[in-house]
Structure 1
Amino acid sequence: MAGKFITFEGTDGAGKTTILNMVLEYLKDTMGDQLVTSREPGGNPIAESIREVILDRQNIEMDKRTEALLYAAARRQNIEQTVKPAIAANKLVICDRYLDSSIAYQGGGRQIGEKEIYEMNQFATEGFLPDLTIYFNLPVEEGLKRIAQNRNENDIDRLDVETIDFHNRVYDAYQRLAKQQPERIKSVDATQSIDAVYQNVLEILQPYLEEFKK
């Protein structure tokens, strides 16, 4: 049996992290040390240090290409130090965001170019992709409404305060990715109730979880 790498993706406010935490709570008793969790940017001390720089709201002068390169650097460190060793040990790795986020946020949102961000990350990741990506599909207006209602001042980062046009470009980029790679990227309707979204996610995950019962 080989390990698996599964990522969760979505625009801001889509409920991705809420559902991810519910899934991890469900899995932790049955999977034990076979389950490894990570996040982007972050996942280990070096990548977490890069995360602080990227998301700090005081860094308003950060160039958009600098931002993209920092995400790629954090990603490289995470997959080499955390993700790949776990997969080699036949573990299930679930990560909050990965390459698709850079394509959507920096490629689409920052208008660097989705192809350009993909190609840059080919160097960083050496073409390493998830076995499965679950995409939480939610209209931008609803996501921003949820952020305003549910996050306090300390939880809002540099990307949360971007313009509506920025978030629309991010959403459109995610839609293109989902259409281009339907075998890997499975879309979930995030306008549903939390329980309904959670059940949809578990159904998508089930075939991959069955691999660890054999």
Structure 2
Amino acid sequence: MATTPYSPHFGEPPLNQPFYGAGPLQATRRYFAHYATFRGRASRSEFWWPQVVIAVLNAALILIGWLLDTATIPLALSSILSLATFIPWLSAACRRMHDTNRSGKWLLILLLGSVMAFYLAIIVAVVGILLSAGPSLISDIMFASRTNSAVPLPAIDALSPLSIVVLFVAACVATFSVICWILFVIFMTQESVDAGVRFDREVRLV
């Protein structure tokens, strides 16, 4: 772990320095204080404690919706919370990358790779299904929409060899998306690296 004088025993560091060992409230406050700050570094606690707090808030909203037997208001509030915390999440993840001595470009590569692979897997899977049962499946979908019934999926043994190959490619692409998220979690949980100080913001005395 990077050597630093900033820990709970020495008080809270300035916002332009990472706070190792920050508590839930301290980490969450600094999380939003750095709302769109992509420069500098962030400790593991500064990244993960706010995720726990946000997850608890979302769980509370779901519980409220269940108790009130309505999902409209809690779902709307949860959506607003997700939108409001996306930029802080993105900036904190970038600073966490810096704390492990990695460029923020790694974050861009992992996120774009995961999202693009996810949607590409869906497109390829749909193409694979349509190659096997295109006309009949479309008619089944139209019939199901008129009768409000389930759409029957084609049986595995009815798939053509080409469709099976295409679906296998879709599975591989989806696996790549999962791997990107696994790497993201690994990077976010790694210990600090001393060389990460190269990403610190310069403090100039005026």
Q: TM class by shorter-chain length? A: under 0.3
Structure number, greater radius of gyration: 2
Structure ranking higher in strand proportion: 1
Q: RCO (CA 8 Å, sep 6+): is it higher in 1 or 2?
A: 1
